[in-house]
Amino acid sequence: MPVRSDLKTVMVIGSGPVVIGQAAEFDYAGTQACVALREEGLRVVLINSNPDTIMTDGEMADRVYLEPLTVESAEAVIARERPQGLVATLGGQVGLNLAVALADAGVLERYGVEVLGTRLAGIRKAEDRELFKATMQQIGEPVPESRIVHVMAEAEEFAAAIGLPLIIRPAYTLGGSGGGIAGTPEELREIVRRGLRMSPIGQVLVERSLYGWKEIEYEVMRDAGDRCISVCNMENLDPVGVHTGDSIVVAPSQTLNDRDYQRLRAAAFHIVRAIGVQGGCNVQLALDPASDRYFVIEVNPRVSRSSALASKATGYPIAKVAAKIAVGLGLDEIRNPVTGTTTAFFEPTLDYCVMKIPRWPFDKFASADRRLGTQMKATGEVMAIDRTFEGALQKAVRSLDIGLDGLAAPEALPDPELDHAVAHADDRRLLYLAEALRRGRTVDELARRTGIDPWFVRKISNIVEAEAEILTGRLDLSRAKRLGFSDARLGALPGAGEAAIRRMRSRTGVRPSYKMVDTCAAEFEATTPYFYSAYGGENEAAPDPRPCVVVLGSGPIRIGQGIEFDYGSVHAVWALRRAGLRAVIINNNPETVSTDFSTADRLYFEPLTFEDVMNVIEVEQPVGVLCQFGGQTAVNLAVPLHGAGVQVLGTSPEGMDRAEDRGLFEAVLEDLHISRPAGGAASSLEEAEVIAARVDFPVLVRPSYVLGGRAMEICYDADDLRAYVQGAARVTPEHPLLVDQYVPGREVEVDAVSDGGSVLIPGILEHVERAGVHSGDSIAVYPPHSLSAGVRAQIAKQTLDLARALGIVGLLNIQFVVDGGSVHVLELNPRSSRTVPFMTKVTGVPMVAAAVRAVLRESLEAQGYHCPDGICLPPDPPFVACKMPVFSWAKLHDVDTALGPEMKSTGEVMGIGPTYAEALKKGFQACGLAVGAGATALVALADRDKAEGVLVARALARAGMRLAATPGTAESLAEAGLSADALTPEQALEAVRAGEVQLFVNTLTRGRQRDRDGFRLRRAATELGVPVLTSLDTAAALALALAAEGGPSAGSPWALQDYEVSMRSGAGRS
């Protein structure tokens, strides 16, 4: 069937902020979908609150609404745009849930909006546990014994009948939120209580644990004509029991014979037909490792993280095809984008092995529970491709960007502890397995203890055995490379050094060749410009005479380096192509738009290490490399690449180094007479104490060898400082501790484009939270509302001076702290930043494109930006926009939700409105913090915050909230004439657990010292989904927003195209 002629306008729902369980994959899916729908001549209206995405660029849809993903705001958009159809299956669980909510609220019926693709009835069949189970039983597909539970007694009854362990899965939650495996009655009660609370419909599934079974996934596509294909199957290396998002996954399956493969494929088709999927669907199955038995685990009737992985693993664009199916096309009518001549009705076949390894945030959250279970904890993932399993595995490990160049032992554990670590899955299990093999454990023994198929353990063992051969000099280099050993690892084992191995390879001609990912195992001619490296074969990446530039991507999504950096990479690629250059991207994140093979002229799916990047450079012979758009991962490669004679374009590596090296940067500031908080580097506790005494407490301390605010803390007194030094950091002369005066002022941030002589500052961002909260965790507002013209001018001037002094060409990001009238520089990043996508959207200045043009020597003036005195700073817009952090607390147990200098958020939303209060209000709505009037706020303040806290509490009360408080705080409130229920910590905990508290405002009693009551309360609140605010600034902003005029959907929704137009007219163009 052709595209339905009754469709003119189609609405697409995005997935909102990046949280654990829902990351960049939905930007990839949404972007593809928008392109696919517009290709069919449809007008596309998009709603998504996440400003950091490509899909929310003005060019991606006809109307882009960066509005909260709530029923109210979606209805307002529908009322304004009047779409005929809605695509709900491209925005992850959030999109699906919103579509269901819109239907339930009668909105879709009221406006005559049809849900396209898989119908709502089908979505419910897949998502509602009870309906799903009934559907499976109806068609005879086996599901594990289970019971749908709405109250605790039902769960206990089932446990009594079936026995433990049991798996608990809440209905309609992301990434298995709130679920778990219960081995004891206590665990059962705890997990069920949490699950019931977190499920939006108060429903959990309690089921027999299939722990240890093989976990297999199929990505299936089906169209309205009942044509069905399987794009890909995948096998989890970790057996059932570890969430698939936390599992190492390989594609295609490795240990299934053809009967297994086809039986499960047929089951997947059977299920997808019963649900009535029209589009893409992920089917998860458990296969008994010792028989033909299998069970259906779950079905996701939408594009997903797995479908993004399957798309990248095979080259088949699932989201694009799903979007076309939704508007009426058949798989046999959709053109196969790889061959260009055949149809989308085909099953890809691979001639390589694909490996996915999750990227976990435990480097940031030292206190987090690292064990892996049914609740997903990874923030991102990497993918690697090779012709051998071993090669793919080792490449994936390198891609994680956690300092591993191979399967190195994580720490020196004694044998019994190692055995324990192997058997209990956490993020390091792969490394423990390798170490256990090194110490002589057998493959069979380890397979038995872990439930990991012996085939996989054997492959890891192959790597370990090869290491031993390398140590004795018996392994030949080309075999080592086929097994995926990096030069660094080979250099480290016999002590030869990476450079020596590289020279040896160069001498003996051991170089990788590049193979194409073409969906068809070379059966048909394909032109997909998508390559991976393999040793010992023919090279397919033919030289292309057109000049090219290599763009380094940013690798896996992690805290501090998220989707914003993929945004930069993608725009850099596009800008290069517009400039007539061939753009080549290197990246390893399967979730992203940058690794869509249609983004760049060539995509190399490779680790971002010196060796892997140099190998590509040797093949491509680029005129230069862009290191400033891929976050710190790419910046870190600038110096080594430069050292190898590679032209780093834009800001020189030397300039980058001067910005990043503390000593050099201080000298630059001194020369320019720019102030920065006083401080110094200490190589011992004594030295730290001397510096602290000089600059005075409180001080900000952090190790010098990590970036991005990791392990940074504020110490309020000498005890704090001692505790920090003794507890957290190894302090040595090689790894000194940085101790700085803590300036408690306003944090201000600038992203600018420099052409070496002038700077373009599209706008200044002011943070709501005072200095001390990491900039990534702060609410940022544009335009700034409390900065004087003088301060703004100082900021602009300092930006210009620094850009000139460091020779910045391209992007830079500077963080300032403004204390009264004085401006201090905190840090300068010679690269794209977290805030670039947001600023691009709200100012209408295409920052990355401007930066790339500057890098290509086109001055800002020549680009049309008038820079009097070297500065182009457009006037403020007639609106206010804010960017708010979103956290994934619910997924990470034992992590303190208190904000500080260490970044903890995983994603962002934005709010925009005619006033500051309205922008804030939308932002709070978008991140789910907009508590209603009549809600109860529990307030617990540190003594030093009581005076200020009382003002905030009064504002909350004025906004219609009821107050409750811990005894001391209640007393202060009473003194100020505010009535609040006084609750002891125990009573407060009970009130939180009983659902009587909707907001918790809590300031930390002391800097470092973790007060047990506060921590317990914060965690309890978080686990039950109660927002916790630990900064009074955030709470004050919330009070302001709640008090804003109008109802919950005050103001009409704003499309990006509306404010873009108003911005362009005032963007300072000459």
Partner 1 sequence: MRAKLVLEDGRVFEGEAFGGELTAPICGEVVFNTGMTGYQEVLTDPSYAGQMVVMTYPLIGNYGIRAADSESVRPHVRAFIVSDPCDTPSHWASEGGLADYLAENGIVALAGIDTRALTKHLRTKGTLRGAIGLLGVDAQDLADAAEAWQPGNLVAEVTTPEAYSVGGAGPHVVVVDFGAKRNIIRSLVALGCRVTVVPADTDAETVLALAPDGVILSNGPGDPELLTQARACVKTLLGSGVPLFGICLGHQLMALALGGRTSKMKFGHHGVNHPVQELKTGRAYVTTQNHEYAVTDLDPDVAEITHKNLNDGTVEGLKVLRRPAFSVQFHPEACPGPGDTADLFREFVAQLPVAAR
Q: Which residues of the chain form contacts with partner 1 (CB under 8 A)?
A: 225-230, 252-262, 265-266, 269, 289-291, 330-332, 342-343, 345-353, 387-389, 453-455, 458, 515, 520-525, 536-538, 540
Q: How far is the CB of 290 from partner 1 (least distance, A)?
A: 5
Q: Could you tell me which residues come within 8 angstroms of residue 724 by beta carbon, excluding any fewer than 6 positions away?
A: 701, 713, 715, 1008
Nearer to partner 1, 287 or 682 (CB): 287
User: Is there a contact between 1024 and 178 (Cβ–Cβ < 8 Å)?
Assistant: no
CB atoms within 10 A of CB 987: 14
Q: Can you tell me the distance from the alpha carbon of 869 to that of 1004, in angstroms, rounded to the nearest whole number?
A: 45
Nearer to partner 1, 119 or 335 (CB): 335
Q: How far is the CB of 214 from partner 1 (least distance, A)?
A: 11
Nearer to partner 1, 429 or 482 (CB): 482
Q: How far is the CB of 523 from partner 1 (least distance, A)?
A: 5
DSSP of 933-979 = TT-EEEEE--GGGHHHHHHHHHHHHHTT-EEEE-HHHHHHHHHTT--
Q: How far is the CB of 195 from partner 1 (least distance, A)?
A: 34
Nearer to partner 1, 67 or 390 (CB): 390
Q: State the pairing for strand pair 1028-1029/999-1002.
A: parallel
Q: How far is the CB of 725 from partner 1 (least distance, A)?
A: 50
Q: How far is the CB of 345 from partner 1 (least distance, A)?
A: 5
Q: In this structure, what are the phi and psi dihedrals at residue 485, rounded to the nearest 5 degrees? A: -70, 135
Q: How far is the CB of 231 from partner 1 (least distance, A)?
A: 11
Q: How far is the CB of 533 from partner 1 (least distance, A)?
A: 13
Nearer to partner 1, 372 or 447 (CB): 447
Residue with tokens 């993608």: 570
CA distances from 907 to 338, 586, 877, 883, 911 (A): 33, 24, 25, 10, 14
Task: Say which amino acid occupies 945.
Answer: D
Q: How far is the CB of 233 from partner 1 (least distance, A)?
A: 9
Q: Could you tell me which residues come within 8 angstroms of residue 1030 by beta carbon, excluding any fewer than 6 positions away?
A: 897, 898, 899, 1002, 1003, 1004, 1018
Residue in 820, 819, 848, 926 with CA at minimum distance from that of residue 883: 926
Which structure tokens are listed for 331?
């798989």
Nearer to partner 1, 223 or 755 (CB): 223
Q: State the pairing for strand pair 602-605/582-587.
A: parallel
Nearer to partner 1, 538 or 869 (CB): 538
Q: How far is the CB of 333 from partner 1 (least distance, A)?
A: 10
Q: Can you tell me the distance from the alpha carbon of 685 to that of 17, in angstroms, rounded to the nearest whole number?
A: 41
Class of residue 843 by CB neighbours under 10 A (exposed 0-12, middle 13-18, buried 19+)? buried
Three-class SS of 406-432: CCCCCCCCCHHHHHHHHHCCECCHHHH
Nearer to partner 1, 481 or 658 (CB): 481
Nearer to partner 1, 339 or 897 (CB): 339
Q: How far is the CB of 1046 from partner 1 (least distance, A)?
A: 53
Residue in 676, 677, 755, 690 with CA at minimum distance from that of residue 721: 690
Q: How far is the CB of 392 from partner 1 (least distance, A)?
A: 10
User: Is there a contact between 446 and 440 (Cβ–Cβ < 8 Å)?
Assistant: no
Q: Can you tell me the distance from the alpha carbon of 415 to that of 619, in angstroms, rounded to the nearest whole number?
A: 45
Q: Can you tell me the distance from the alpha carbon of 338 to that of 329, in angstroms, rounded to the nearest whole number?
A: 18
User: Is there a contact between 613 and 648 (Cβ–Cβ < 8 Å)?
Assistant: no
Q: How far is the CB of 230 from partner 1 (least distance, A)?
A: 8
Nearer to partner 1, 277 or 851 (CB): 277
Q: How far is the CB of 456 from partner 1 (least distance, A)?
A: 8
Nearer to partner 1, 327 or 627 (CB): 327
Nearer to partner 1, 186 or 538 (CB): 538
User: Is there a contact between 956 and 1038 (Cβ–Cβ < 8 Å)?
Assistant: yes
Q: How far is the CB of 372 from partner 1 (least distance, A)?
A: 23
Which structure tokens are listed for 33?
């979908």
Q: How far is the CB of 266 from partner 1 (least distance, A)?
A: 6
Q: How far is the CB of 354 from partner 1 (least distance, A)?
A: 12
Residue in 251, 257, 250 with CA at minimum distance from that of residue 292: 257
Nearer to partner 1, 524 or 1015 (CB): 524
CA distances from 262 to 101, 222, 273, 290, 294 (A): 37, 17, 16, 17, 12
Q: Can you tell me the distance from the alpha carbon of 266 to that of 260, in angstroms, rounded to the nearest whole number?
A: 10
Q: Can you tell me the distance from the alpha carbon of 56 to that of 564, in angstroms, rounded to the nearest whole number?
A: 12
For 197-225, b/e burial (b = at least 16 CB within 10 A) is bbbeeebbbbbbbbbbbbbbbbbbbbbbe
For the chain, the first-to-last Cα distance in angstroms comes to 50
Three-class SS of 528-553: CCEEEEEECCCCCCCCCCCCEEEEEC
> What's the sign of the alpha-carbon dihedral 558, 562, 568, 569?
positive
DSSP of 129-191 = HHHHHHHHHHHT-----EEEESSHHHHHHHHHHH-S-EEEEETT-GGGTT-EEE-SHHHHHHH
Q: Can you tell me the distance from the alpha carbon of 979 to that of 426, in angstroms, rounded to the nearest whole number?
A: 47
Q: How far is the CB of 516 from partner 1 (least distance, A)?
A: 9
Nearer to partner 1, 522 or 693 (CB): 522
CA atoms within 13 A on the CB side of 921: 22
Residue in 685, 681, 691, 679 with CA at minimum distance from that of residue 742: 679
Residue in 919, 841, 923, 917 with CA at minimum distance from that of residue 886: 923
Nearer to partner 1, 303 or 447 (CB): 447
